[in-house]
């Protein structure tokens, strides 16, 4: 009898398990699934498929902030944002998943010092919260977007400064607020607009289909999607549970674009609580 052959079913099972482990380790070592980033020992996910520009509608997001504070753009009174603002530029996969926290490149505010004015206006935080950082602790809104999403933008966007600059440029070039206003979809606390009309207005302007997310029938976020050369593409993903392509949306047939009236800060700098959720919209 060959001494290297399994002598029982349990031996055969053990051999099969060992063979599977060896094959997996071989694949990792060959770099077919994961890559190791430099010397930091972080396993990087595969390269993303497309970009998603996520925009927030202040009229829906602001009333749901629990408090007002100096870092919250909703608190700026007459200077509070009244158009879509940037949430982030997110690298995504076609299967509906996305990479995150791809390197240990920490956010450095000094790197974007020359961009602070447009960032404060068009990419402001709409809450008082401190988002979690990729590797522990709390940080700023911009820091969260860079560390979670921006670090996964390579090889298209290589560094922090260009991540924020590129996002601003895409936002200015594809001005959703202007497109909707010109089509008659203006902020209102009384009007309801057909979701299909909003989608069609953007399709006609950019030749690609957006995706929207709503809260209580109000537009909360709007997403524009781009190929890696920043040419618009449809925001459609393939579900792992379904074979067809579909656009994700949590919106009803008719939606609102509510106006938010900023309460601002008191003269002494103390915070002012927002209207409770059950009293809005």
- Please identify every residue annotated as catalytic: 87, 145, 149
Residue 272 · residue 62 · CB < 8 Å:
no
Neighbours of 274 (CB within 10 A): 21
Q: Rounded to an integer, what distance in angstroms lies between the CA atom of residue 198 and that of residue 109?
A: 36
Enumerate residues 6+ apart whose C-beta is below 8 A from 209: 199, 202, 203, 234, 235, 236, 247
Q: HEC profile for the chain?
A: CCCCCCCCHHHHHHHHHHHHHHHHHHHHHHCCCCEEECCCCEEECCCCCEEEEEEECHHHHHHHCCCCCCCCHHHCHHHCCCCCEEEEEEEECCCCCCCCCCCCCCCCHHHHHHHHHHHHHHCCCCCCCCCECCCCCECCHHHHHHHHCHHHCCCCCCCHHHHHHHHHHHHHHCCHHHHHHHCCCCCCCCCCEEHHHHHHHHHHHHCCCCEEEEECCEEEEEEEEECCCCCEECCCEECCCCCCEECCCCCCCEEECCCCCCCCCCCCCCCCCCCCHHHCC
């Amino acid at each position: 009898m060959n001494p290297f052959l399994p002598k029982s079913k349990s031996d055969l099972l053990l051999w099969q398990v060992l063979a599977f482990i060896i094959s997996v380790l071989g694949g990792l070592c060959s770099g077919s699934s994961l890559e190791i980033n430099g010397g930091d020992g972080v396993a990087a996910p595969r390269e993303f498929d497309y970009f998603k520009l996520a925009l927030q509608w202040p009229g829906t997001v602001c009333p749901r902030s629990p408090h007002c504070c100096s870092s919250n753009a909703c608190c700026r009174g007459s200077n509070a944002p009244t158009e879509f603002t940037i949430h982030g530029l997110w690298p995504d996969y076609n299967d509906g998943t996305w990479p995150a926290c791809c390197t240990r490149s920490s956010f450095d505010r000094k790197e974007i010092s020359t961009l602070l004015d447009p960032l404060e206006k068009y990419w402001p935080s709409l809450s008082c919260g401190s988002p979690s950082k990729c590797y522990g602790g709390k940080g700023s809104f911009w820091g969260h977007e860079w560390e979670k999403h921006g670090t996964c933008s390579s090889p298209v966007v290589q560094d922090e400064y260009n991540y924020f600059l590129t996002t601003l440029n895409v936002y200015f070039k594809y001005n959703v607020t202007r497109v909707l206003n010109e089509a008659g979809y203006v902020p209102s606390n009384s009007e309801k607009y057909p979701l299909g009309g909003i989608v069609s207005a953007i399709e006609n302007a950019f030749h690609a289909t957006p995706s929207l997310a709503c809260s209580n029938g109000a537009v909360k976020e709007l997403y524009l999607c781009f190929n890696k050369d920043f040419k618009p593409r449809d925001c459609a993903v393939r579900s792992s549970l379904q074979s067809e392509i579909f656009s994700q949306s949590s919106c009803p047939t008719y939606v609102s674009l509510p106006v938010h009236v900023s309460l601002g800060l008191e003269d002494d700098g103390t915070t002012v609580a927002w209207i409770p959720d059950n009293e809005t919209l």
